[in-house]
């Protein structure tokens, strides 16, 4: 996959700095391109989640838009709402598509937060997933 595409989230605006394709590597403190930071996390055994707003995945219905985050160590996408086809593709690729039970909780998440997904061994359709958020 690394030789197919290197464009994961490069068009998404980072809420922390207002820039596209520039996120802070939580391990090094340095800013870098999203795919590069994800590769660094993967190389260091760090699992990660992405947090998004409304209609996440709109215009990204191609399978690779779901495959690349999984390949680079992503485990879940937590959003206010999903574009239908993209949500299906995330499931096919083994990423957990989650929506906030309360959309206002989106505004409580900070860029440096550590998010843990609890109780996944008991995951079942229609059963809520509890997320533990620790502010850094």
pLDDT single digits (tens) 77-103: 999 999 989 999 999 999 999 999 999
Whether the pLDDT of residue 3 is over 90: the answer is no
pLDDT at 61: 62
Write the secondary structure of the chain as one string of H (helix), E (strand) and C (coil): CCCCCCCCCCCCECCCCCCECCEECCCCCCEECHHHHHHHHHHCCCCEEEEECCCECCCCCCCHHHHHHHHCCEEEEEECCECHHHHHHHHHCCCEEEECCCHHHHHHCCCCCEEEEECHHHCCCCCCCEEEEECC
Look at 115 and 60; give whichever has higher pLDDT: 115
* CA distance linking residue 103 with residue 37, whole number of Å: 27
* CA distance linking residue 34 with residue 134, whole number of Å: 22
Which CATH architecture is the domain 23-134 placed in? Alpha-Beta Barrel (3.20)
pLDDT at 84: 87
**pLDDT confidence band for 4 (50 / 70 / 90):** low
Q: Which pTM does this prediction carry?
A: 0.92
- Closest by Cα among 101, 88, 100, 32 to 57: 88
Mean pLDDT of the chain: 92
Among 25-29, 63-67, 121-125, which is the least confidently predicted range?
63-67
pLDDT for 23-62, tens place per residue?
999 999 999 999 999 999 999 999 999 999 999 998 866 7
pLDDT at 64: 83
**pLDDT confidence band for 65 (50 / 70 / 90):** confident
Domain range annotation of the chain: 23-134
Q: What token pair was written down for 96?
A: 């957990």
């Amino acid at each position: 996959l690394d030789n197919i595409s290197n464009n994961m989230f490069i068009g998404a605006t980072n809420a922390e700095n207002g820039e596209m394709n520039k996120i802070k590597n939580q391990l090094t403190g340095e800013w870098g391109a999203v795919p590069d930071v994800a590769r660094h996390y993967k190389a260091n055994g760090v699992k990660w989640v992405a947090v998004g707003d409304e209609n996440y995945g709109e215009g990204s219905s191609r399978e690779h838009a779901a495959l690349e985050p999984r390949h680079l160590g992503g485990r879940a996408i937590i959003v206010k709402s999903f574009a239908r086809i993209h949500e299906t593709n995330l499931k096919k690729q083994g990423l957990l598509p989650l929506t906030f039970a309360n959309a206002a909780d989106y505004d409580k998440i900070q860029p440096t937060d550590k998010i843990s997904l609890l109780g996944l061994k008991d995951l079942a359709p229609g059963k809520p997933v509890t997320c533990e958020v620790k502010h850094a």
